[in-house]
Structure 1
Amino acid sequence: MALIPLAAHFDGDFVLKLLPVDTHHTMDEVAAAAAANSVGIHVADQPERTMRVRKQGADAPYERTDTVEKAGLTPTQCIEIYFE
Structure 2
Amino acid sequence: MAIIPLAANFEGDFVIKLLPVDSGSTMDEVAAAAAANSIGIHVAERPGRTLRVRKQGADAPYARDSTVADAALEATECIEIYFE
TM-score between the two structures when normalised by the length of structure 2: 0.99
1:57 corresponds to 2:57: yes
The 1-side partners of 2:48 and 2:40 are apart by 15
SS in 1 for 2:18: strand
What are the equivalent positions in structure 2 for 1:1-84 lying under 5 Å apart? 1-84=1-84
- Larger relative helix fraction: 1
| Structure 2 gaps, min length 5 | none
> What is the percent sequence identity of the aligned residues?
75
| Structure 1 gaps, min length 5 | none
- Count of aligned residue pairs for this structure pair: 84
SS in 2 for 1:32: helix
SS in 1 for 2:37: helix
Measured after TM superposition, the shift of residue 79 of structure 1 is: 0.1
Q: Structure 1 segments of 4 or more deviating over 4 A?
A: none
One-letter amino acid of the counterpart of residue 65, structure 2: T
One-letter amino acid of the counterpart of residue 49, structure 2: R
